[in-house]
Structure 1
């Protein structure tokens, strides 16, 4: 029986689209990765022929051009929120994903713990990561986000966040799950780039929907 999805064709199309998008910006592209970055068994069930590690293969093809930032919410860590697909806490999922990426020869440059307001478990995770020689940063929740644009685009908003230095033209921003602060991290980085007269851009990579792949 013929599979309904061609992973090789998908990889070729997505790689070309990302490289085309990054050319629109003089500095870099912050690319938010929606869904699971590896072992996406849901996608492989929905699309027969889709390899669960297709996103990993994509990142490997772009390896020389990318850096990876990983996000997790301090609230999810403190509440012990569980990822039902792997039956792991968001804290454990963060560590697992970093280790999984390493096995694929992909390094996480930094971990951002978002929405921080003194959570003890978040501080423990930060210390653990730093002991593993992984850069870890805390980002406080911005009051009024996302409605109060004036505050967000000020020293009391994105201006209070740490700036994560990156060298490559594509910065992949992934997360432990929904609400991990991936988009706010991207926009915070762009805010700082703008202050430095750097033209950076944002795009979101989603496994679904796939608009542009032909049916035949």
Structure 2
């Protein structure tokens, strides 16, 4: 009898690392959504609420805004870099991967406009500028020598212009806008896709 009451009154087992992994995954997904809706300056408390965890859990995984932004955007940038590292990569193909991420992630668009991040977010601005530079380096690896975007800052400016055009209620709408913007710039884009190894 004592054994039954102990089991009934017992606290649920602590899932330890599994709970931590689930919480982190939920926080990254929530941060992606919140940043997409409200920009990189969105309140961190909104991320915790959306993930269904307390703010203590949020701060255990992401001690500051920069860490939360990094978790959301690093994979976008890394996929563009991996596409550029592929042995069969072409400039048009890497642009296709970049365009997929532009259509898929409003937070990624915000990254490419890092100069717009408010002055109270100097760490985020610096981090975003670093990620943006990594995207440009990945693209430049395959930019043909005489390409129309090869002069000065034309490549970076073109990416910023296209990303500014990526608006619309659905992913398909945003992709069509991105492709139209590239077409207006006279730039060929390969298949729009996520990069997979």
In the superposition, the TM-score normalised over structure 2's length comes to: 0.30
Larger strand share, 1 or 2: 1
Based on CA coordinates, which of the two structures has the bigger radius of gyration?
A: 2
Whose relative contact order is higher, 1 or 2, with alpha carbons under 8 Å and at least 6 apart?
1
